[in-house]
Amino acid sequence: MTTLQVRCIARSRQAPGPATCLQLLPRGCQPVLLDSSGDVGFSTLAWAPDKSLHGHLQPNPAASGDSNRCLADSDPAQQLEDICSGEHWHFEAGLPKAGIGWLGWFGFECGHAYESFPWNPPYPDAWPDFHFGRYRHAMVWMPDGEVLLLHAQIDGGVDDRDATLQQFETLMAFGADTVAQSCSGPKLQPEINGQTFRQAVERLRQWIGEGELYQANLSHVLSGAFHEDARHLYQALRQSQPTAMSAYWEDADGRVLLSHSPERFLQVRGTELLSQPIKGTAARGQDVEEDQTIAAKLAADEKEVAELTMIVDMARNDLGRVADVGAVQVDSAGDVEAFSTLFHRTAKVRARWQPQLGLARLFAATFPPASITGAPKVRALNAISELEGRARGPYCGCLGYWIPGEHPHGDFSVLIRTATLSNQQLRLAVGAGIVWDSDPQREWDETRLKGRYLTG
């Protein structure tokens, strides 16, 4: 058993903002910013992990006669569960259980560990399929404006607070008035043309008409060169696209994730589970009156209502695979939620489970997220993998934190509205849920709308 005592070792009400502190951190320190950029909750900035876990999944032909549809050779969630097995994180009374612990992400291809669907060529630039680090210190911006410096000391280990305090004092010396730099967004172009996407939509509609599936999430990629500072770009997007589950992740090799996801995949609070799937999109209007009209239309749109209803049923089913009997409930089947440039329909599904089942069991039941696959999940995974013909990489996976123990805490977003940056190439995948009455041109237009926040 390894006990990590989490204490607040410094605090300030004169701290720079999260994006400013991110920019001030030294290169190579592998920062992770979990950012409530809509100012509706905690924002946390962690850096300098003392342990890491990352890797690539490979097909395991021994598990199946079809080498292109076999399961993966390992389970990344099980690897994370194993590496933090025996850790007990003890938090000083009154401290938030957030932004510290094991931080990172599972990419979409981690779904190969749980479901059988075709393998595509690896994501460009040798991106791993998953990446987590153990972060024992983090800054936490509280809702009341105070900033806490949390540090987890390993019982019996060397007291290593000094370096953390020194970094915090360096950041505090800049003062609360320090403003983060920003830059203009990149120029991105679709990697496929609209006709190719529309043909894929028609193919899905054919399969749906033949009764093979009800819905599938189809995506494509916008990409382009980007030579500026990714941390500066994050600040620009933070101002124009605030969401409660924004995130910035950077590894030691300079790979970057810039995420402005509005969607929660899975929150764990001991025995309580929460998922908040999103389906249904409409652009914001020019004024309050137009906004009201658009929101009312989205709320009554039969296609969008049906689409989210199917995803809610999938989320209930997924959570039901690990939940206590009769302990899954739908708090909301779909409410229209306003964001800076879009309206979305968002649902809320809760469940109660036994944490001793473990993280691997939880992810085997729920991953990949229902909202970005389709219904039924396995057939949808096969359909979109075949039609897209590419690895999704981090896109449509999940990102967040995991604090293990008898009463685990965790929170993971769905990695949509998420760009990757590596080798000065920025990629943004955008998708749409396809059902029988989908209009191919409308779906293409919806995907372009979803990329507008980044491309301008």
Say whether pLDDT at 188 is over 90. yes
Say whether pLDDT at 455 is over 80. no
* 388 in Cβ contact with 220 (< 8 Å): yes
pLDDT of residue 388: 97
Q: What angle do CA 295, 42, 369 make, to 5 degrees?
A: 60
Say whether pLDDT at 394 is over 70. yes
pLDDT of residue 298: 74
Residues with a catalytic annotation lie at 263, 279
Mean pLDDT for the stretch of residues 211-240: 94
Say whether pLDDT at 40 is over 80. no
Rounded to the nearest 10 degrees, what angle do helices 194-209 and 377-388 cross at? Answer: 150
> Considering only CA atoms, which of 452, 38, 392, 96 is closest in space to residue 218?
392
Contacts of 326 (CB under 8 A, 6+ apart): none
pLDDT of residue 345: 82
d(C-alpha 84, C-alpha 3), whole Å:
11
If you write DSSP's letter for every residue of 311-330 in order, what string do you get?
Answer: HHHHHHHHHHTTEEEEEEEE
pLDDT of residue 310: 84
pTM, to two decimals? 0.94
At 146, is the pLDDT very low, low, confident or very high (cuts 50, 70, 90)? very high
pLDDT tens digits for range 157-169: 888 899 999 999 9
d(C-alpha 329, C-alpha 325), whole Å:
11
d(C-alpha 203, C-alpha 1), whole Å:
53
Mean pLDDT for the stretch of residues 81-102: 95
pLDDT of residue 456: 56
Mean pLDDT for the stretch of residues 15-24: 95
Contacts of 438 (CB under 8 A, 6+ apart): 201, 204, 205, 303, 432
Q: Give whichever of 345-349, 386-390, 444-448 has the largest mean pLDDT.
A: 386-390
d(C-alpha 139, C-alpha 168), whole Å:
8
Contacts of 397 (CB under 8 A, 6+ apart): 105, 106, 107, 108, 109, 110, 130, 368, 415
